[in-house]
Each structure stands twice: as structure tokens, then as C-alpha cells.
């Protein structure tokens, strides 16, 4: 029996020896094969400083920082508590092996065979090898390569150099590559000043830097820090007292990079894309600094106007769509019947969207409720913040209103809440989207741009996404008519018209007979617009619109709905077109990058845009610098002036009259737009200093509700923005050019009138078209009755 046992042991030893010899042979062969392919120490020993792309407003307020930061440190700067935390967690035999820990590899392989986690087999040196190369290989090939590379690294570098290189190259989350950057990003201090608790927290990030860090998951990070401290205690690297003190330490991490002063993520993404096209991956590491054209105050006003406008003017008006989920108290309660810990863990997974913070209802009273925020704070929501929540049934039906808090919330409900000036209110994330873009008519610089409700939720930039503009396109139709010889006093028949299967209608479903072009544009009459388009001709209208930058080569030539804005255009194209009307007829190009510089090369780009220069070409002018590029004139200044006047009428008496009522300025012009459904809502308006377009609609077009018009949502958002954008700015309008004459006309028929006649106005004409005698006119209708009504006549096609 004993002989059999000895024989078995002999065979086992032989098999083990053969297996070990086989492993050695495989590793040796792999090393000999891979050695020529492995990087040399010179290629990885020196870690370079990396500085992210930083984007600023025109007044040098940070918009965003894109890319990772790396600030290499020396071994002498790394505190012992940090190296101890790393070694205790990742590689307790770091100082005793030669780069590969055979015991750990066997343990890891044995665990893999058994299907249990017995810890990984990678040493710190092998993790460094993985970091430096082989990232794209599959797990087995990568591991095979890591072993010989780790052995090579350990031959070429000292243990201290390995640790230093490791700490300088590992990603710690929050845009921090290396411990030097991480210490600053999380704690705002040099690495040498990290405490035991902070060092343990840093090491706890390594497996999952994005999801485990104390900024995104503070509760989870405490547990992970405790494990690292326990590892150090187990290895006698710290005492029990030190463990207890560090374990009790509060979370002190705060983001110290990317201290965004002005949120403009859609602008930042436009900048990033433009730089990446030219510089590739260097965009994120070479310390580029971009100064944009964005006005910081106007951008903040635009963010607020669009975000709150979508919530208030549209989303809340259509009712409350209900809660997202429910987390029953009895399931989440702990041994003390307190569910807050479980609820907080759920809340950490729910992001803030726009103004809307996630919360879980913790108590419901008759006319109020309490809710737990992800910060751990419990808030009180009074009836004033609940009463708006009529039940959403459809876009056209929100009923009934709540009678008690229990009608909209129960304990455990996952809801959204919004902070207001007076407290908190029940909220919801809007499913509607929108865009706002504002630019200078003088040189095309974009002053503010918001491409959607929340960039984190959707990166689609709706400022550059084509959608039908509806009546927002009509000024270019009427401008083409003026260029073709019509005047604002010319009459067009507002009467039924049928062309095949197409029969356009007005918003009010009525007809007024012959009306002036001024009146037709002011009240956005559709049928006269279609007649005018047909009379002027598609070729002339589209050629005129093309001067403003519209891609009319893609527009159909035989579709009368073009007159009503049926063809897709970008909000950026629309605002550029309105800017050309505002500046007197000059084509300026929209732009948003003023200056680009880098750490290595200094200034590498300086914007030199087209500029409106009315005196350029005048031999007596001394106002045009040599490097100024004058914007080309695209339409007669007199046509632009008359269009300004007609769009002023829209704001005074037409569909944009809310602008005049609320802002009370005499220098504002504009036009609303509403498409069929309605599916898109628009308002574009301007004075001589600033032109702004607002667009509202679902990303997948669908009806917004039968009561909606450009005047109901887009106009008030535009007002909220322009109220701030124009603050402390004097009134400014286009100067009256030479060659304009006024005539007293009958406001109904457009015919010349004499002083003392009723229903007259002074109208502007180009000198060559100014009437000098009364010509026979078609019979008109009495429009005085219409003037007293607050019509909101929008484009429906």
C-alpha cells in the first residue's frame, strides 16, 4: 500500500514538474517571440504633461474643459499612505517578485477553473504593462503579452520607478489621468498632502473610476474606501486607531477642475468637432484654449429662457404625465424601519435633467408632501407647487386638476421636483424640445446658442437641425415681392384659391378680399401669401431667399406650400437671414470661434469675419481698417428698410404683439411661425444690435396641441431672453436710407389718401415706385374691426 502511495506521489511530482516545465517553456517561448515587439523603456519611462481643451466665452468665463488632465509627479512627492494603500489592495508581494507573481497567477487560474473569484493574478507591474499597451487585445492574448512585458519592465525599472510610472498613467476618473491630476481634481491639493482617508479613496477608484468615484457615488465610495483601509490594517500598514479615524472621515472630495462658469455644452461640442477635424486626438491633450464669440450673460439668459420656457409655457400647460416608478417603503426599510438608505441608493442612479431633480416621496399630507433628494435632504412641496398638475390625457386634454396631494403622489414614488424662488414644486422632464440662437447683425458672431433642453439627455443640436419654418419664412417671400416692384401698399386678393388638390386656408378660416401686403404679413394671412408666391414666381422668390443663405436649390419649383415655409431650414439659417434684414441688407456669416491658442504654439487662429461697413468704398471714410473684410450687400437698403417696417407692424399689431406689450421698446421687429399640425413653433425677431430665433417642436414631429401657435410658446421664450439680452442697451434700428419716400395711403385699399381722410397711414415707398396720383383700386374691406382684435394668425399648410 505504501509503495502504491509513493508511486502515486512520484507520478504526481513528475506531472507537476512536467506541467511547470511546460509553463516555463511556453512563457520562455512567448517571451522570445514577443520580446522584439515589446516597447523599450525610452518609449514609456517619461510621462508627458497633458492639458485638456478649454473653451471660454468672449469675456473669458469657462464654458467647458474637454479631455483628461495629467500632471506627472516624482516618487518623492507620493506619500507612503498612497503606495501602502495600492500595495495592500493590488499586490501585497510587490517588493518580493520580479514583475510576475506566480502564486497569484496560479490562484487566479484555479479560481477561474472552479468558477469562483479568488482574486486577480495581475501584479502592479502587469497592470502597468496593460496600461502602456495591448488595450485592444482579447483577454487571453493580452495576459500572455503582459507577462513578458512585466518581466521586461521590472528588469529596466526599479520598484520606485514602476510605482511612479503607475501612478502617473492610471486613470482616476473625472478627467484625471495620473495621481497628480487626481489629487487636484478631487481635493484641490498636491499629491504629497493627501491624508490616509483621501489616499484610500484614490485607490478605491482604480477598478471603476467613472462609477465609483465620490463625486458620482458618495455612499458607495465610503464602502469601497473602508475595504482599502481594511487591507492596510490587515497588512499592518496602519494601526487600529488610524483605521478608525480614517473610516470616520467625511467625504471631502469636490470637483476642482471644469469649474464651468457659463454652461454652453452645445457650443462646446461645436468647438470640439471643429478642432478635432484639424488636430485629431491632440485636441484633448495639447492645451488648446478657445475663446468663443459667446456673450456670457446672454448665454446664461438663453439657458434660463429656453429651459424654463419649455417647462412653463408648454409642458406644464399640457398636464402631469405621472410618476416614473415606485419604491415601496416596506421593501426598502432597514431594521429601524428607515427606507432612506435604500431610497438614496436608488436616487444615485437617476441623473438631474435640466431643472428637474429626482426625488422619492417620503410622506404625503392633505395638501403637501415631503420628498427625499439624492443629496439626502428632505424637502417640503406645498400645494402651490402641486396644484398645476392636471392629469395628462392627450396634447389637447389635461383634466381633472388635483384636489389633494394624494392625487399626484404616494409614498415611495420616484418623481421630479424643481426649486423655485419661493420653495419647491412638483416637476417633470419635458418631452418637448427647442432651440435658441442669437447673433450680431453687424458681423455674424453668435452671442448665445442653446441646442436643446438638456445636453446630457440629448446631444442633438437643434440649432443646426433643419425643420419647416412656417410663416417664419414669409419675410423672404415679401422681400422678393418688394424687389420685383411691389410695395407694402400693393394689394393682394385674400380669396379662395384652388390649384389641383391644393386649397390653402387662413388660420381663422375666413377671407378678407383685397388687402395690402403690409396687412397680409402683419396678420400672417396664408392665402394671400400663396397668391403672391404664384404672382412673383418661384424662380424670383427662391433666388431672393438664396441670397440670405437658404439652400433653395433643394426646394421644389412647383410646390406652392414653399410660400408658407414647408421646406426644412436650420434655425441658424433663419436667424442669419433675419440678421441681414436687421443690418440693412448685408450678408454676414455666423461664426463662434474668436481665437485659438495652444501651450506649444501660442496664438494659432484669430477670427476675421465679414463686417457690415456702410462707409467702406467711400473715399472720404477713415473708419475701415486695412484688414476689415466688408460684408457684401445682397439686397437694396430700401427693401431692407421697408421689410423692417413691415416686421415692426407684426410686433405692434400682429401675431407678435405680446413682444410690444411686455418689452415696450420701439426698436423690435419680428415674425412668428407655426406649421401644419401644429408641429413646429417659431419666432424670429431683432433690432439693429441682435437677432434671435426660437424654435419649438418634438424631435420626432407630431402635433403639439391644437391651441399651440408660435405666439403661445416661442414668443414668450424669445421675450424672456431678449428682456435680459437688451438690458441697459439703447434702442437701435436700421437708419433710413436715401431714396425712401412716404405717402399717405388708405390702410385698407393701399390707395393714396388726402389729409383728413379716415383710416389712413403713412407708408414707405422706394422713390421710383412712389405713387403720385390715385390709381383705381380693387374694392377693399373695412379692416378697422380687425385691428381691435388680438389675432394670432399663424402659418398652417
Helix, coil or strand: residue 379: strand
332-339 contacts at long range (C-beta below 8 A, 24 or more positions apart): 332/412, 339/412
- Catalytic annotation on 90? yes
- Note whether 92 and 235 are within 8 A (CB): yes
Angle at 369 between CA 368 and CA 373, to 5 degrees: 140
Are the beta carbons of 223 and 247 closer than 8 angstroms?
no
Task: Tell me phi and psi for residue 65, to 5 degrees.
Answer: -130, 120
Q: Which residues make beta-bridge pairs with 766?
A: 740
Q: Are 417 and 311 in contact (CB under 8 A)?
A: no
Choosing from 58, 204, 471, 655, the catalytic residue is: 471
CA 22/CA 12 separation, integer angstroms: 15
Exposure string over 461-493, b if 16+ CB within 10 A, otherwise e: bbbbbebbbbbbbbbbbbbbbbbeebbbbbbbb
Is cis: bond before 591, omega within 30 of 0? Answer: no
DSSP per residue over 140-161, as a string? HHHHHHHHHHHHHHHHHS-HHH
Rg of the Cα trace of the chain?
A: 35
Active-site residue, from 50, 90, 680, 708: 90
Closest residue by Cα to residue 577 from 483, 774, 437: 437
E-strand ranges in 327-408 read: 357-364, 369-373, 378-381, 392-394, 397-398
Q: Which of 781, 788, 743, 756 is nearest to 491 (CA)?
A: 781
Residue 239 bears catalytic tag: no
C-alpha cell at 54: 478649454
Q: For residue 247, count CB atoms less than 10 angstroms from its CB and return exposed for 0-12, middle for 13-18, buried for 19 or more.
A: middle
The distance of Cα 435 from the centroid of its chain, to the nearest Å, equals: 10
How far apart (Å, rounded) are the C-alpha atoms in residues 163 and 14? 39
Kind and range of the H or E run holding 385: none
The per-residue DSSP string of 236-281 comes to TSS-HHHHHHHHHPPP-----S---SS--HHHHHHHHHHHHHHHGG
Distance CA 381, CA 416 (A): 11
DSSP at 758: S
Q: Which residues pair with 286 in a beta bridge?
A: 51
513: β partners: 494
Half-sphere exposure at residue 566, Cβ-oriented, CA atoms within 13 angstroms:
17
Query: In whole angstroms, how far apart are CA 221 and each of 16, 206, 251, 573?
Result: 43, 12, 9, 48
Residue 491 CB contacts under 8 Å (≥ 6 apart), including other chains = 514, 515, 516, 517, 749, 750, 777, 778, 780
**What is the rounded distance in angstroms from the CA atom of residue 83 to the CA atom of residue 161?**
12
Distance of CA 601 to the CA centre of its chain: 30
Q: At what angle do helices 218-234 and 196-204 cross, to 10 degrees?
A: 110
Return the closest-CA partner of residue 474 out of 557, 612, 581: 581
The Cα 510–Cα 499 span in angstroms is 18
Integer Cα distance of 424 and 657 in angstroms: 33
Q: Which residues are the active-site residues?
A: 90, 471
Amino acid at each position: 500500500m505504501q509503495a502504491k502511495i509513493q508511486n502515486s506521489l512520484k507520478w504526481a511530482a513528475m506531472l507537476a514538474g512536467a506541467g511547470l516545465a511546460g509553463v516555463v517553456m511556453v512563457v520562455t517561448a512567448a517571451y522570445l517571440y514577443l520580446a522584439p515587439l515589446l516597447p523599450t523603456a525610452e518609449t514609456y519611462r517619461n510621462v508627458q504633461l497633458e492639458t485638456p481643451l478649454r473653451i471660454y466665452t468672449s469675456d473669458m468665463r469657462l464654458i467647458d474643459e474637454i479631455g483628461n488632465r495629467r500632471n506627472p509627479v516624482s516618487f518623492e512627492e507620493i506619500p507612503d499612505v498612497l503606495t501602502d494603500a495600492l500595495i495592500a489592495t493590488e499586490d501585497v508581494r510587490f517588493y518580493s517578485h520580479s514583475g510576475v507573481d506566480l502564486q497569484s497567477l496560479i490562484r487566479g487560474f484555479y479560481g477561474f477553473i472552479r468558477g469562483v473569484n479568488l482574486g486577480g493574478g495581475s501584479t502592479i507591474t502587469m497592470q502597468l504593462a496593460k496600461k502602456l499597451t495591448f488595450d485592444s487585445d482579447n483577454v487571453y492574448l493580452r495576459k500572455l503579452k503582459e507577462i513578458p512585458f512585466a518581466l521586461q519592465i521590472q528588469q529596466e525599472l526599479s520598484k520606485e520607478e514602476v510605482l511612479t510610472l503607475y501612478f502617473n498613467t492610471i486613470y482616476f476618473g473625472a478627467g484625471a489621468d495620473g495621481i497628480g491630476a487626481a489629487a487636484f481634481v478631487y481635493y484641490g491639493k498636491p499629491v504629497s498632502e493627501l491624508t490616509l482617508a483621501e489616499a484610500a479613496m484614490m485607490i478605491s477608484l482604480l477598478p471603476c473610476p467613472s462609477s465609483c468615484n465620490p463625486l458620482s457615488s458618495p455612499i458607495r465610495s465610503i464602502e469601497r474606501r473602508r475595504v482599502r483601509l481594511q487591507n492596510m490594517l490587515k497588512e499592518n500598514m496602519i494601526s487600529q486607531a488610524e483605521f478608525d479615524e480614517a473610516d470616520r472621515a467625511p467625504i471631502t472630495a469636490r470637483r476642482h477642475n471644469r469649474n464651468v462658469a457659463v454652461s454652453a455644452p452645445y457650443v462646446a461640442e461645436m468647438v470640439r468637432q471643429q478642432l478635432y477635424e484639424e488636430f485629431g486626438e491632440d485636441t484633448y491633450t495639447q492645451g488648446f484654449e478657445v475663446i468663443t464669440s459667446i456673450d456670457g450673460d446672454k448665454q446664461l439668459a438663453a439657458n434660463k429662457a429656453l429651459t424654463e420656457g419649455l417647462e412653463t409655457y408648454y409642458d406644464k400647460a399640457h398636464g402631469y404625465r405621472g410618476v416614473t416608478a415606485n419604491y415601496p417603503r416596506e421593501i426598502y426599510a432597514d431594521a429601524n424601519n428607515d427606507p432612506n438608505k435604500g431610497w438614496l441608493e436608488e436616487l444615485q442612479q437617476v441623473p438631474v435633467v435640466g431643472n428637474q431633480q429626482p426625488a422619492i416621496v417620503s410622506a404625503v399630507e392633505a395638501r403637501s408632501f415631503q420628498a427625499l433628494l439624492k443629496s439626502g435632504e428632505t424637502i417640503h412641496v406645498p400645494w402651490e407647487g402641486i396644484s398645476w398638475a392636471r392629469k395628462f390625457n392627450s396634447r389637447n386634454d389635461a383634466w381633472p386638476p388635483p384636489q389633494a396631494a394624494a392625487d399626484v403622489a404616494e409614498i415611495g414614488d420616484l418623481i421630479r421636483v424643481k426649486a423655485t424662488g419661493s420653495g419647491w414644486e412638483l416637476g417633470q422632464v419635458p418631452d418637448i424640445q427647442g432651440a435658441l440662437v442669437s447673433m450680431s447683425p453687424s458681423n455674424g458672431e453668435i452671442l448665445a446658442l442653446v441646442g436643446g433642453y438638456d445636453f446630457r439627455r440629448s446631444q442633438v443640436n437643434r440649432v443646426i437641425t433643419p425643420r419647416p419654418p412656417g410663416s417664419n419664412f414669409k419675410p423672404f417671400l415679401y422681400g422678393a415681392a418688394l424687389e420685383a416692384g411691389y410695395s407694402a401698399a400693393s394689394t393682394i386678393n385674400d380669396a379662395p384659391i384652388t390649384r389641383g388638390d391644393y386649397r390653402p386656408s387662413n388660420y381663422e378660416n375666413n377671407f378678407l378680399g383685397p388687402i395690402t401686403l403690409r396687412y397680409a404679413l402683419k396678420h400672417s394671412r396664408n392665402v394671400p401669401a400663396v397668391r403672391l408666391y404664384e404672382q412673383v414666381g418661384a424662380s424670383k422668390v427662391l433666388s431672393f431667399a438664396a441670397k440670405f443663405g437658404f439652400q433653395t436649390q433643394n426646394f421644389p419649383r412647383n410646390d406652392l406650400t414653399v410660400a408658407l415655409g414647408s421646406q426644412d431650414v436650420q434655425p441658424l439659417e433663419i436667424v442669419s437671414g433675419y440678421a441681414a434684414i436687421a443690418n440693412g441688407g448685408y450678408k454676414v456669416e455666423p461664426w463662434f470661434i474668436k481665437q485659438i491658442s495652444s501651450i506649444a504654439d501660442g496664438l494659432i487662429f484669430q477670427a476675421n469675419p465679414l463686417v457690415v461697413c456702410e462707409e467702406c468704398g467711400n473715399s472720404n471714410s477713415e473708419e475701415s481698417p486695412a484688414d476689415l473684410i466688408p460684408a457684401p450687400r445682397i439686397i437694396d437698403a430700401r427693401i431692407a428698410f421697408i421689410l423692417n417696417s413691415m416686421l415692426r407692424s407684426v410686433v405692434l399689431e400682429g401675431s407678435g404683439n405680446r413682444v410690444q406689450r411686455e418689452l415696450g421698446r420701439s426698436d423690435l421687429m419680428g415674425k412668428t411661425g407655426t406649421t401644419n399640425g401644429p408641429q413646429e413653433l417659431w419666432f424670429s425677431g431683432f433690432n439693429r444690435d441682435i437677432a434671435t430665433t426660437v424654435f419649438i417642436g418634438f424631435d420626432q414631429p407630431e402635433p403639439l396641441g391644437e391651441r399651440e401657435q408660435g405666439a403661445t410658446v416661442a414668443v414668450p421664450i424669445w421675450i424672456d431672453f431678449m428682456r435680459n439680452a437688451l438690458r441697459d442697451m439703447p434702442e437701435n434700428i436700421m437708419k433710413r436710407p436715401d431714396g425712401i419716400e412716404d405717402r399717405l395711403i388708405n390702410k385698407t385699399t393701399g390707395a393714396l389718401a388726402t389729409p383728413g381722410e379716415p383710416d389712413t397711414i403713412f407708408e414707405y415707398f422706394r422713390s421710383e415706385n412712389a405713387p403720385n396720383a390715385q390709381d383705381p383700386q380693387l374694392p377693399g374691406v373695412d379692416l378697422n374691426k380687425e385691428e381691435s382684435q388680438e389675432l394670432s394668425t399663424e402659418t398652417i399648410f
